[in-house]
Amino acid sequence: MAETPNRPLSPHLQIYKPQITTVLSITHRATGIVLSLGVVLLVAWLMAAAAGPQYYEAAQACAGSWLGYLFLFGFSLCLFYHLLNGIRHLFWDAGHGFELETVTRTGWAVLVGTVLLTVIAWVLGLTVMGRI
Amino acid sequence: MSKDKLGPAKTGTSHWWHQRLTAIALIPLILFLVGLLPNMAGATHREFTALMQIPITPVVLILLVAAGLYHMKLGLQVVIEDYVHNACVKMALVVSLTLFTFFLAAAGIVSIIMLAA
Ligand code: HEM
Ligand code: HEM
């Protein structure tokens, strides 16, 4: 057994240099978990609306507080990231985009797209609501 | 249910496939929700119920809640299976996740129908 010092070892995450591929991959999982919390809150919000105006007002007040805004902003970032990277996943599943160069390029495109879509959505949203 | 019916070797392909199917369905549904949000945010209860009287809103919301929850359940199950190694704990978590998902689906869909009625 001592003769095999050059065997490839599975990545030991603590000492493994972060790369765009690995970081984006775990971020897909992390954003998926945040979105799960988001769906739970969406259902809670619908239940409040169905329960009547007083519950609905309370839910709106929560969402309209600075904490609510912070969460909504973070949630929108996660949503757009997971959406764009999910499309990237679907292309891989169809067998496209596996070259290392393409993987790196689409990875950066997902990051830039996430920031752009989030900013556009909030600017449009706040404009439609007459806040800016 | 027999133990042999559980686990990725038995249900892995359909699980994988359903995760993709719901992902594809969610793309247009999420875009619809994003378009709806400026109308929902800051709306009074009356304005919001008026929005729910337009048939397309409750229909798309039900599809969104259903596809979103199913996709969520499949995804979180993979996360549990990856990180939890004790078979009993794993089983308990997956069963809880399934029950919780059904509860949310029923609560969400009933709420939407009440708001649209
Ligand atoms: C892409 C995702 C989202 C974006 C871009 C977004 C955008 C916004 C914006 C710009 C506001 C400002 C509200 C205001 O000033 O009144 C807002 C508020 C709000 N959002 Fe969202 N949102 C997102 C997700 C969600 C989700 C999933 C819910 C679930 C119900 C939600 C519910 C609300 C509510 C209830 C408010 C009320 C705020 C208020 O009363 O002032 N949003 N959102
Ligand atoms: C309702 C909103 C959503 C929630 C709650 C959610 C949640 C999740 C979760 C928890 C996972 C598991 C992550 C993992 O195993 O590492 C996942 C995976 C995935 N999601 Fe979503 N997601 C949502 C929306 C979307 C959308 C809109 C797409 C569209 C492209 C998408 C595409 C994917 C794909 C392709 C995977 C599999 C990734 C893999 O095999 O590693 N998701 N999602």
For residue range B41-100, what is the model confidence (pLDDT) as tens digits?
778 899 999 999 999 999 999 999 999 999 999 999 999 999 999 999 999 999 999 999
**pLDDT tier at A2 (50, 70, 90 boundaries)?**
low
Give the pLDDT score at A10: 63
Residue A94 has pLDDT above 60, yes or no: yes
- Name the DSSP letter for residue B3: G
Please give the residue range of the domain that contains residue A52: 20-128
In angstroms, the CA A92 to CA A75 distance is 25
DSSP sequence for A44-55: HHHHHHHH-HHH
Bigger pLDDT: A4 vs B71 = B71
Whether the CA torsion A35, A41, A46, A49 is positive or negative: it is negative
Q: What is the pLDDT of residues A49-88, one digit of tens each?
A: 999 999 999 999 998 889 999 999 999 999 999 999 999 9
Contacts of B46 in chain A (CB under 8 A): 53
- Closest CA of chain A from B42, distance in Å: 7
Q: B115, A86: Cβ pair inside 8 Å?
A: no
pLDDT at B1: 40
Q: Is the pLDDT of residue A131 over 90?
A: no
* Beta-carbon count within 10 A of B103 CB: 12
End-to-end C-alpha distance for chain B, whole angstroms: 39
Is B23 in contact with A92 (CB distance < 8 Å)? Answer: no
The pLDDT score that the predictor gives to residue A12 is 66
CB contact under 8 Å between B107 and A124, yes or no, is no
Instruction: Pick the closest to residue B48 from A64, A56, A122, A68 (CA basis).
Output: A56
Set of chain B residues whose Cβ sits within 8 Å of the Cβ of A39:
65, 68-69, 72, 104
Amino acid at B45: H
Q: Which pLDDT tens digit goes with each residue over B87-101?
A: 999 999 999 999 999
Domains contained in chain B, CATH given: 9-116 (1.20.1300.10)
Q: What is the pLDDT of residue B10?
A: 60
CATH code of A42's domain: 1.20.1300.10
ipTM: 0.86
Calpha distance B85→B28 (Å, rounded): 36
Give me the sign of the Cα torsion angle A60, A61, A65, A67.
negative
Residue A56 lies in a domain: yes
The domain tally of chain A equals: 1
Task: Report pTM.
Answer: 0.81
> Could you tell me if residue A106 is inside a domain?
yes
Question: Are residues B34 and A35, on separate chains, in Cβ contact within 8 Å?
Answer: no
How much distance in Å is there from the Cα of A63 to the middle of ligand 1? Answer: 7
pLDDT of residue A128: 79
Q: Classify residue A81: in a domain, yes or no.
A: yes
The 10s digit of each residue's pLDDT in A13-46 is 677 778 889 999 999 999 999 999 999 999 999 9
Q: Residue A127: what pLDDT?
A: 85
Residue A52 within any structural domain of the chain: yes
Residue B4, pLDDT score: 47
Is A11 contained in some domain? no
Q: Does residue A120 form part of some domain? A: yes
What's the mean pLDDT in A91-118? Answer: 94
For residue A85, what are the CA distances in angstroms to A40, A81, A106, A123, B72? 22, 6, 9, 23, 16
Contacts of B72 in chain A (CB under 8 A): 32, 35-36, 39
A91, A98, A104, B22 from A110: Cα distances, Å? 13, 15, 10, 20
Q: In this predicted structure, what is the pLDDT of residue B2?
A: 41
pLDDT value of position B68: 97
Query: Does B63 sit in the ligand 2 pocket, CB within 6 Å?
Result: no
In a domain, A116, yes or no: yes
* A6 occurs within a structural domain: no
- Ligand 2 center–CA A15 separation, angstroms: 28
Instruction: State whether B38 and A129 contact (CB < 8 Å).
Output: yes
DSSP assignment letter at A10: P
Q: Which amino acid is at B60?
A: V
